Homo-oligomer: A and B are copies of this chain.
Amino acid sequence: MNSAEKTKSTKTVKGEQTKALILNSALGLLREHGYEQTTMRAIAKKADVSLGNAYHYFGSKEHLIQAFYHRTHEEHLVAVLPALRKETSLKARLLALLRLKISTLEPYHEFAGVLFKTAADPHSPLNPFADDSAPTRHDSIKLFEELVADTKARIPSDLRAELPYLLWLYHMGIILFWIHDSSPKRARTYRLIDQTVDLLDKLISLASNPLMRPVRKRALKLVAELRELG
């Protein structure tokens, strides 16, 4: 019962095939030519299907992005789970997760900008805080929950509870940087990851200091309020 799908649910084997055909055509063209350059007519043509039929399965061009989200998230999941099992420290896990995320997204760098563009619009069903994308977002945060769950570091329980969400936000920030990064092989993004992960590790230690308790409590209360927004 994947209620995340805003796409038309197929009632037929044939329908399922057609839908997959359209999605694959779309992702291929998107990857090659980016978002603006890829027209719905071209997608339909490549899938050997009428224009209206493409709209039967995907309510809009933006809905194809949601499908993209879902697909890359699963790709990333497959790549990152073994790494989480192998590493035990929060630092090493975070490092592995982020690097794999970027390398998974890399083929779509050209059109990832639009992804964020639509995501930032509160009226869009794709913005990360909208109800429509709640399931996908939740899946994504869940990954960070697993990352934090059985790590050995001594972290106060109040911070530990909010940490998955905070790390998810942080990882969104990294992606935003990556989108704007035009350095060769995204060297700058990878360097940013290395440095921020290191810094974050230190900050978590700091925030875990008993002396920091009052400030930490305040900050965490604020974060909790922020989360209600969605």
| Residues of chain A whose beta carbon lies under 8 Å from any beta carbon of chain B | 36, 113-114, 116-124, 127, 129, 176-177, 179-181, 188, 192, 195-196, 199, 202-203, 206, 215, 218-219, 222, 225-226, 229
Contact = CB atoms under 8 A, between A and B. Distances in A.
Given A117-B120, A119-B120, A192-B226, 20 more contacts: A113-B121, A113-B123, A116-B121, A117-B117, A117-B121, A120-B120, A122-B179, A122-B180, A127-B180, A177-B226, A177-B229, A180-B229, A188-B229, A192-B222, A195-B222, A196-B222, A199-B218, A199-B219, A202-B215, A202-B218
Nearest to A205: B215
A90 B176 CA distance: 30
Given A120-B120, A121-B116, A215-B202, A129 B226 contact: no
Nearest to A182: B122
Which of A118, A122, A129, A229 gathers the greatest number of chain B CB atoms within 10 Å? A122
A224 to B, nearest CB: 12
- Top 7 A-B pairs, shortest CB-CB distance: A117-B121, A120-B120, A113-B122, A116-B120, A122-B180, A113-B121, A117-B120
A116 B226 CA distance: 19
7 contacts: A113-B120, A113-B121, A113-B122, A116-B121, A192-B226, A199-B222, A202-B218
Contacts of A180: 122, 127, 129, 229
Tell me the number of copies of this protein: 2
A117 B124 contact: yes
Contact of A114 (B119, B121, B177, B222): B121
A56 B124 CA distance: 30
A176 B120 CA distance: 9
A4 to B, nearest CB: 20
Contacts of A203: 215
B215 A206 contact: yes
A193 to B, nearest CB: 11
A226 to B, nearest CB: 7
A158 to B, nearest CB: 16
Contacts of A118: 117
Contacts of A124: 117
